[in-house]
Amino acid sequence: MADLVFGEDAPLFDVMSTMRAMRRLKPDPVPRELIEKLITAATYGPSGGNNQTYSFVVVTDRDQVARMAPIWRRIVDFYVASQSPPEHMSDDAWQRLTATLRYQADHFEEIPVLIVACYELRSARARMMRSLDKQRAGLRALGPWHALSSARNLAKFASTGETASVYPGLQNLLLMARALGLGATLTTWHTMFEQEFKDVLGIPRHVHTYAIVPVGWPMGRFGPVNRRPAADAIRWERW
């Protein structure tokens, strides 16, 4: 920890290589200006077509957090009971991971901040519908074969575009949290019971939630991430 640098000027590579999922959090409150800084970092991320139709529901109210706790615990119970460790992970490491998941679930009510990342493409879709002539002209220019192929992939194109408009910003948020010394974790398993979380938070139907990021001052230390070497993952020129 002694050689870790904190603050907005912390070296980017150092921040990246020590930004781990921090699930054991102190109940101490997080100043509002730091939360706003995290969200600002998230907004610096790119979005498809520069639509910027993100929203971040920031939950610090104890009653609201408590309403989400039983749903979260139901998911963790299911996850721990049903999942097995990935090949590269030892049984010990898996036990340590599930222990932190359990800890977080058991202490959910104490998490100081939950950031729920949302996105919606209703306005982009409405814009598309207003310019159907342009769409038709574009499809005609593609020719029937490519037009058919693009139509087949339209749903994937739309869902990838929406999803990929959220996570780059969230990675910024996580990196900023680490730089500021705040613990955070990207989580997506709430999507299994998304509507229940949306009901608690009053999130409208057309808005999709992509992650819940618990944030707080960490009990443990930031440390080097444990990853496969990049050399193993790189495939030069072709697969």
Ligand X SMILES: Cc1cc2nc3c(=O)[nH]c(=O)nc-3n(C[C@H](O)[C@H](O)[C@H](O)COP(=O)(O)O)c2cc1C
**Which residues are at the interface with ligand X (CB under 6 A)?**
20-21, 101, 185-189, 225-226
For residue 26, what are its two tokens? 């102190």
Distance CA 59, CA 62 (A): 8
When the beta carbons of 90 and 226 are compared against ligand X, the nearer one is 226
38 vs 124, which CB is nearer to ligand X? 38
The distance of closest approach from Cβ of residue 140 to ligand X in the complex, given in angstroms and rounded to an integer, is 38
Minimum distance of ligand X from residue 146's CB (angstroms): 32
Smallest separation (angstroms) from ligand X to the CB of 18:
10
Rounded distance between C-alpha atoms, residue 191 and residue 208, angstroms: 9
Task: Tell me the closest approach of the beta carbon of residue 163 to ligand X, in angstroms.
Answer: 10
Strand ranges across the sheet with 208-216: 54-59, 113-119, 208-216, 183-184
Instruction: Classify residue 207 by its DSSP letter.
Output: P
Shortest CB 89 distance to ligand X, Å: 9
How is 114-169 classified by DSSP, letter by letter?
Answer: EEEEEE--HHHHHHHHHTHHHHHHHHHHH-HHHHHHHHHTHHHHHHHHHHTTTHHH
Indicate the residue among 148 and 225 with the shorter CB distance to ligand X: 225
Nearer to ligand X, 57 or 124 (CB): 57
If the CB atoms of residues 52 and 188 are measured against ligand X, the closer one turns out to be: 188
| Spatial CA neighbour of 192 closest among 61, 24, 73, 64 | 73
Q: Environment class of residue 168 by beta-carbon count within 10 Å: exposed (0-12), middle (13-18) or buried (19+)? A: middle
| CB of 141 or CB of 233, closer to ligand X | 233
Output the smallest distance, CB 65 to ligand X, in A: 16
Work out how close the CB of 3 gets to ligand X at its nearest, in angstroms, rounded to a whole number.
19
Please report the sign of the dihedral spanned by the C-alpha atoms of residue 102, residue 103, residue 109, residue 115: negative
Query: Would you give the distance in Å from CA 35 to the centre of its chain?
Result: 15
Q: Smaller CB distance to ligand X: residue 6 or 142? A: 6
Let me know the angle formed at the C-alpha of 54 by 151 and 57, rounded to the nearest 5 degrees.
Answer: 135
